[in-house]
Each structure stands twice: as structure tokens, then as C-alpha cells.
Amino acid sequence: MTELSRIVPSEITAEALYRGRRLFLAKAATLLSAGMGPAGAMASEDAISRYEEVTNYNNFYEYSTDKKAVAALAENLQPNPWRLEVKGEVERPRVYDAHAVGRDFGTEERIYRLRCVEGWSAVIPWTGVPLARILKAAGPTSRARYVRFVGPHDPARFYGQRSRRHLWPYVEGLAIEEAMHPLTLLATGMYGGPIANQCGAPVRLVVPWKYGYKSIKSVVSIVLEEARPESFWMRLSPEEYGFYANVDPEVPHPRWSQAREVRLGEMRRRPTLPFNGYAEQVAHLYRGLDLRAMR
């Protein structure tokens, strides 16, 4: 965990200025007292993005394709109560109260880079449950090779779903080895509090080495399957959006380069890192495979 593991106290303090000093210092203290230290938090070396930036520039097509409009529209999300089901090729299908998942399985703090396929990025402190814990509790059968994640479908609440341009609900998928990887998180909180509606309350997937579109918001079902699921973006534009979607600066999007990115709140463009900087942790998953062919 070397490359992910450093966060300097000054970064925590900088964020505290924006989010309430006591909350953030309390969180840092909890990490330290849990014996995890900053390393256990799997922080990134980069400065944490401001909460205001991360919550006012969002992709959440269930509401709008206008990133700056999402925050206001998502006020009606109603994250409580929220059913989260785990089903399909499992021995023990279950329905959870999404708000109890953290308590049932235990949460961890993770500071991850998020790199959108559009060329912007952020560094976000999440709280969440390593997805592997939830999957193992369900007991995948020998036929479980993929995991499909499904978002909400309710055009009465999610205004963007009244548009027929997209095929709802939002769906994403991972190979089971990716879903079981220790970096894969079912986030239950952010910045020391709950997930903001516009960021995918109450539970959201975070897969930091893949383009942000894999990190599906407001998950309602997790379905283990034998066949590879087709995602929302693959259905919309298969030439542009692949299943694996690992961040790769050398493979351009058909309409733009992926070599660089702009951090929210910054002007300059910085180089994009292979696997979004998590190669040391995840490259082994793809060893011997042709990454270019594995879009």
C-alpha cells in the first residue's frame, strides 16, 4: 500500500477549514487510535478536494446531464429508508437496510482519487465497507463470475429518467475478482458525514482504478451473475465506453485524449496515471491480458 498510504496532517487541516475542524480532527484521531495510522486510511498523496467542489459538479444522469444542476435537483433523493438487495448466484440472498450496512460489516476510511472519463478528477475521503465482505457474506456460487450493480428507477423522483435518450436504470458491472479486490468499496459516507445526495446517497460503489462511470451511485441491487452484464454506458455508446474502463492515459477516448486531467478547483492539467495511480495494487488482475483490447 506504499503509494496510497501517505497523507500529511496539513492536508487534513486544510480540509478541516472547509468542513468543520472538529469533525475532521476527530476522524483523524479515530484512525490513529484504531491503530491504523494514516497508512490504514490508504490516503493519496494529493490534496483532498474541497467538499464544495465535489458536491457542486456531478454526474448523476438520473437527475440531469448538467453537472451544476444536479446538487439542487438531488435534494429530493429521499435516501431513507433505502433497500439494498444482494442476490443472484449466491447461497444467501439478502435485503439490507442500506443504513445498517456500515454497522453490520464495519467501515473503513479511504481517500481515493476519482478520475472521470471526461477528463476531470477529484480526491475524496470516503467511509465504506469493502465490498468483498458483503459478497462473502452472501456466499457466491461457483457460477458467480460477474457482479451487476443497479441504480434506482423512479421517474417521479429522478427527473432525468423521464428522458427517453437513456435506458434506465443505470447499470454497472465488475468481474468478480475486481469486485472482491480490497480497494473496491461500497461507500456509506464521505468527508466524515453521510454521502451527499448528489454524490450517490445512501450507498455508492467506488472503484478507484477505473473511470468514474463504474462507480455507480445510489445502488439498489447487487446481483452476482454468470454472464457479463451490459452497462448503461456500453448500451448507449459501445464504441466509446467499455466494460473494464481501467484508467489508462495511453488509450484515448475516441473523441479526446486521456493523457491528462484537471482536478476540480484547479486550472492546470496534470498527467493521468495508469490505473489512476493504483497499478501497484491492481495491475496483477490483468497480467497477461491485452489491456487495449479490454476496454
Interface positions with ligand MTE (CB under 6 A): 58-62, 114, 116, 122, 151, 170, 199, 212-213, 215-218
Is the C-alpha dihedral spanning 173, 103, 100, 217 positive or negative?
Answer: negative
C-alpha cell, 196: 451527499
Q: CB neighbours of 108 closer than 8 A, spacing ≥ 6?
A: 40, 127, 128, 129, 130, 185
Which amino acid, one-letter code, is at 106? G
Identify which of residues 38 and 183 has a Cβ nearer to ligand MTE in the complex: 183
Identify which of residues 137 and 230 has a Cβ nearer to ligand MTE in the complex: 230
Identify which of residues 86 and 89 has a Cβ nearer to ligand MTE in the complex: 86
Identify which of residues 43 and 116 has a Cβ nearer to ligand MTE in the complex: 116
Shortest separation between residue 213's beta carbon and ligand MTE, angstroms = 4
Identify which of residues 38 and 190 has a Cβ nearer to ligand MTE in the complex: 190
Identify which of residues 170 and 244 has a Cβ nearer to ligand MTE in the complex: 170
C-alpha cell, 24: 475532521
SS3 293: coil
Identify which of residues 37 and 155 has a Cβ nearer to ligand MTE in the complex: 155
Shortest separation between residue 258's beta carbon and ligand MTE, angstroms = 13
Shortest separation between residue 233's beta carbon and ligand MTE, angstroms = 8
Q: Which residues of 281-290 are buried (b: 16+ CB within 10 A; e: fewer)?
A: bbeeebeeee
Where does residue 121 rank: exposed (0-12), middle (13-18), buried (19+ CB within 10 A)?
buried
Residue nearest to ligand MTE (CB): 212
SS3 23: helix
Quote the CA–CA distance of 288 and 285 in Å, as a whole number. 9
Shortest separation between residue 248's beta carbon and ligand MTE, angstroms = 16
Residue that is written with C-alpha cell 476522524 in the block: 27
Shortest separation between residue 172's beta carbon and ligand MTE, angstroms = 8
Q: What is the DSSP letter of 64?
A: B
Neighbours of 79 (CB within 10 A): 17
Shortest separation between residue 39's beta carbon and ligand MTE, angstroms = 25
Shortest separation between residue 126's beta carbon and ligand MTE, angstroms = 10
